[in-house]
Amino acid sequence: MLFRQFGALAAAGAITAALAVPAAAQTYFRGSDGDPETLDQHKTSTVVEANLLRDLYEGLVVYDSKAQIIPGVAESWEVSEDGLVYTFTLRQDAKWSNGDPVTAGDFVYSLKRIQNPETAAKYASILYPIKNAEAINSGEAEVDTLGVKAVDDYTLEITLEQPTPYFVELLQHQTALPVHPASVEEHGTDFVQPENMVSNGAYTLESFVPNDKIVLVKNDAFREADQVQIARVEVLPFEDRATCVRRFEANEVHSCSDLPGEQIERLKETLGDKVHIAPYLGVYYYGINTKKEHLSDPNVRQALSMVIDREFLADEIFSGTMVPAYSWVPPGIGNYTEDAPQFEYADMSMLDREDEALRLMEEAGYGPDNPLKIEISYNTSENHKNAATAIADMWATLGVETTFNVRDASAHYAMLRDEKVHDVARAGWIGDYSDPQNFLFLNESHNTGFNYGNYENPEYDALMDKAAAETDLAARAEILAEAEAVFLRDVPQIPLLYYSSRSLVSDKLQGWEDNIQNAHATRWMSIVE
């Protein structure tokens, strides 16, 4: 009996049947990298959460399908002469899923909530450009002193601490999404539960079973609901990338948000243009502890950087899913110069680079009798291990003796933050907004959290301060480029590779545009059978 039932089910193929429903009730089976840690936009910090919240809520501004900023709830905005006051005019037809209008007061409530220390928002710091935000979050000022004001229901005024040219770009980040104040007041932290959540995006939350799936359904109250084609999204978490690939090959999911590195070659052969590899706003690098005596000489660091064959790392270790990096700020970023600085040896042959590096090492007093000893710290991962082994091999041509120290991610990053006992440490950075400042600030001397090179250069800090005060975008870009040139001269951290996003996208899924933010809101997509 059971087996007869199973046979019938298998023949029908429950999931295939679901995929074949008429276009009027499209369901998008979306592979995701894992479960969100939270769906509270004020506690969020991960990319998985950004992707979900992008479908659930609409901010003042949003990304279009190519990740270009377009108006969202804000229809237009003006910036004061001094670059400090932003006045947003809100659309009158923006509604919450329960029918309430989306007002300027909702944004005031939300921006205050994320800075309130009681919220314990992981990523509150991204909105520190707003006046008094940092003081409030540190408990040094009252929440009501935040520089946000509802002039009327549809006019929002935000005052900044200092001019921030990328501020509008910041507002598309998921931390700047509004919450529905009445729901938060009524349900407290449980406002994110499916039965309580009121959202203002193209979708609402129907259910969330941890480790199983998150179901979103189209929000009929959304102001552009008539243009939203996919009626239902089932977001499936895949800790194991290979599992998503298998389900993609069995036609059970329409897209996968990441691919296992070791399968890339095979997938390119068998799936062709369903494999999407696109530049991504991120850099993979090695921080060199400049406070350690044997690594304090910039020439030694330069030699170490020079001799690394980045093409080998990109093609062989990462199967062509990473791009060789010869600068700190990834190409394609906004608000930057056309001819951004890069290492001068970017175009030299590996042989010439090795000769030059050997010369630098000799000058610094290192040689066969006095080898440089370095410990590479990295967090557990097959790829990081392979990269470190390859780099140790490349350094061996300089007579460097390399050892390894492997920790799991928590221990690795706790060490980098607190003890900073590393010689060389692996790290990566994915930009939150498309602006060079978001990469260059990692090396400011007061940025103890991220400055893994322990870099302390007043010249660099001064340039960063100068750029922060400059309101003219072109002039600011020049100053930031100058700062990057100083950084590349001193190499306190060695940029190795730029990240790429890698996805599988079914032919049935239309409207997926590869972009540098790897942002793909479901509202821009549709499914054809």
**Which amino acid, one-letter code, is at 37?**
E
Instruction: Indicate the DSSP class of residue 317.
Output: I
Please say which residue, 412 or 502, places its beta carbon nearer to other proteins: 412
Stretch that binds other proteins, among 237-245, 298-306, 311-319, 323-331 (CB under 8 A): 237-245
Select from 203, 186, 185, 207 the least CA-distant residue to 195.
207
Select from 28, 46, 24, 25 the least CA-distant residue to 37.
46
User: Could you tell me where the DSSP H helices lie in 250-381?
Assistant: 264-271, 298-306, 310-312, 350-363
Examine residue 38 and tell whether it contacts other proteins (CB under 8 A): yes
| Minimum CB distance to other proteins, residue 147 (Å) | 18
Given 27, 87, 155, 243, the residue binding other proteins (CB under 8 A):
243
Examine residue 78 and tell whether it contacts other proteins (CB under 8 A): no
Examine residue 193 and tell whether it contacts other proteins (CB under 8 A): yes
Examine residue 211 and tell whether it contacts other proteins (CB under 8 A): yes
Given 68, 98, 138, 296, the residue binding other proteins (CB under 8 A):
138
CA 271 – CA 328 distance, rounded (Å): 33
Examine residue 411 and tell whether it contacts other proteins (CB under 8 A): yes
Please say which residue, 250 or 462, places its beta carbon nearer to other proteins: 250
Please say which residue, 65 or 263, places its beta carbon nearer to other proteins: 263
Stretch that binds other proteins, among 102-110, 172-180, 205-213, 499-507 (CB under 8 A): 205-213
Examine residue 142 and tell whether it contacts other proteins (CB under 8 A): no
Examine residue 408 and tell whether it contacts other proteins (CB under 8 A): yes
The number of helix segments (H) and strand segments (E) in the chain equals 17, 19
Query: How many Cα neighbours within 13 Å face the side chain of 176?
Result: 26
Please say which residue, 40 or 423, places its beta carbon nearer to other proteins: 40
Stretch that binds other proteins, among 3-11, 59-67, 483-491, 506-514 (CB under 8 A): 3-11
Given 27, 45, 337, 445, the residue binding other proteins (CB under 8 A):
45
Stretch that binds other proteins, among 82-90, 96-104, 165-173, 411-419 (CB under 8 A): 411-419
Select from 499, 451, 491, 164 the least CA-distant residue to 335.
164
Other Cβ atoms less than 10 A from the Cβ of 76: the count is: 10
Examine residue 144 and tell whether it contacts other proteins (CB under 8 A): no
Given 179, 192, 340, 505, the residue binding other proteins (CB under 8 A):
192
Helix (H) or strand (E) holding 89: strand 85-90
**Which amino acid, one-letter code, is at 104?**
A
Examine residue 37 and tell whether it contacts other proteins (CB under 8 A): yes
Examine residue 417 and tell whether it contacts other proteins (CB under 8 A): yes
Burial class, 426, CB count within 10 angstroms (exposed 0-12 / middle 13-18 / buried 19+) = buried
Helix (H) or strand (E) holding 247: helix 241-249
The phi and psi torsions of 275 (rounded to 5 degrees) equal -85, 115
Given 65, 87, 89, 125, the residue binding other proteins (CB under 8 A):
125
Examine residue 173 and tell whether it contacts other proteins (CB under 8 A): no
Dig out the tokens for 48 from the structure.
């998985």
If binding means CB under 8 A, how many residues of this protein chain bind other proteins? 63
HEC letters along 98-149:
CCCECCHHHHHHHHHHHHCHHHCCCCHHHHCCECCHHHHHCCCCCHHHCCEE
Q: Which residues contact 63 (CB under 8 A, 6 or more apart)?
A: 54, 69, 70, 172, 515, 517, 519, 521
Given the rule CB under 8 A, which residues bind other proteins? 2, 5-6, 9-10, 13-15, 35, 37-40, 43, 45, 117-125, 134, 137-139, 189, 192-193, 208-212, 236-240, 242-243, 246-247, 249-250, 252, 407-417, 427-428, 449-450
